[in-house]
Structure formats: structure tokens, C-alpha cells
Amino acid sequence: GESVGLHLPTLSVQEGDNSIINCAYSNSASDYFIWYKQESGKGPQFIIDIRSNMDKRQGQRVTVLLNKTVKHLSLQIAATQPGDSAVYFCAESFNQGGKLIFGQGTELSVKP
Amino acid sequence: DAGITQSPRHKVTETGTPVTLRCHQTENHRYMYWYRQDPGHGLRLIHYSYGVKDTDKGEVSDGYSVSRSKTEDFLLTLESATSSQTSVYFCAISELPGTGYGYTFGSGTRLTVV
């Protein structure tokens, strides 16, 4: 079936460095992608999204890149802070009632 | 999380017993979803609702049923709980389909089936 997956299950970075979290998707018909952050004991929180007609979108300290040719999505976090430590999920939408298909998640650990 | 409440937050139940989880929203959003989260699987959609009394199955719906008699409440029922249903359950709401920004998750219910 269709799936969204992540290349790296864990990522450890030094405070102040940039972080890159990667995600692969398999359905070329997906037209909407989202990154979520989940802290321990909490539900996922929206970070940034991108539609398939774009290849880059920037937010505050975060950038999402979409490469439709290789079906790859990445989340870049600039100047990573201890508060960024969490599990990050990518998700794709087929625009079918708003259902989101989630990847397995990458745990980001920021060392002070 | 503002506007969405899950209850209970934690529950331990015995195999074979029925269990109902509740999701309550105050945002008047049309769409509501139930996900389960397990290690190695991320979040998987169980059931969703696109209006009062309008529900549909997700990718892991076996063993679960849902009901939505009011806009604000979406109930998830395990008719006869099994150990494989031990998980963390998340409810989510959205107003616009395919819009992640409008997708708000609850804080989750940790269910243990012994």
C-alpha cells in the first residue's frame, strides 16, 4: 500500500547546529505534506506544510523542501535549540476527507 | 490542547471487556479522526467522521467502532478489548480537509489491555 517513511529513526545534533530530517513518500498523487512535532506525553503539533505545486516553504527557523522527482521531503531546523528535542513526523494527504498518512517518526535529540 | 479534550487520559482494562474513549471538541469543526500510535508505526487512522452520523473506516478499523451523534463528540468503542489494542489513542479535528494547519490533536488516551 501507499506509505510515508523516514530515513533516520534518530538524530542527535549539537545546540546551535542546523538539523535536517528526511522523509520519503511513495504516492505521486499526494498533493499536500505536513510536518508535525510531538513532545513526550503530548499530541502532534503542526510545524509547517507545503503543497505539491511548491518545492520550498519557509517558516520561523524551519524550512520544508519538496522534491517530487524523487518523492522526498525534508525539514530543516536552523540553530537547533534544546526545546526542539522531540519526535518529528511527516504526513501526506490525498485530500480524501482530510485523512493524513503519517510516517514512523524521527527522534531529534539536541545536546547542549 | 485548546478546543479538544480526550477522556479518559489513562485506562487499564481486561481482555474481552468493552471500552469507550471520548473525544470532545468546542471548535465546531466538521471533521474528526481517531488515530492510534504504536512504536514503529507512527500514527495510523482508525476511523474518521465528516459530519454528524457520517463516519468511515481508516486503515486499522478492525475491532473498533465509532459514533458521532453530535458535532462535538466522537466516540471510539472497542467492543471486546484485546492486548493488541494496547496503544495511545489520539483524536484530531479539522475544519478543512487536506489542511494540516487546521488539524488539531488532543493530548491522547493511553489504553492498556491486560
Confidence check: pLDDT of A98 > 70 = no
Q: What is the pLDDT of residue A2?
A: 38
A43 and B58 within 8 Å at the Cβ level: the answer is: no
A100 and B106 within 8 Å at the Cβ level: the answer is: no
List the A4-5 sheet strands across, edge first.
A4-5, A19-25, A72-77, A62-67, A56-58
Q: Is the Cβ–Cβ distance between A61 and A48 less than 8 Å?
A: no
Between CA A85 and CA A5 the distance in angstroms is 20
Helices (H), A8-110: none
Q: What is the pLDDT of residue B98?
A: 54
Grid coordinates belonging to B109: 488516551
Q: Can you tell me whether residue B87 is helix, strand or coil? A: strand
- Give me the residues paired with residue A64 across strands: A57, A75
From residue A32, alpha-carbon distances to A101, B99, B100 in Å are 11, 8, 8
Nearest to A102 among B43, B56, B108 (CB): B43
Q: What is the pLDDT of residue A6?
A: 43
Within an 8 Å CB–CB cutoff, is residue B31 touching chain A?
yes
Confidence check: pLDDT of A1 > 50 = no
Nearest to B100 among A91, A94, A104 (CB): A91
Q: What is the pLDDT of residue A96?
A: 56
B14: exposed, middle or buried (Cβ count in 10 Å: 0-12, 13-18, 19+) = exposed
Q: What does the pLDDT look like over B23-65, one tens digit per residue?
A: 999 999 999 999 999 877 789 999 999 999 999 999 999 999 9
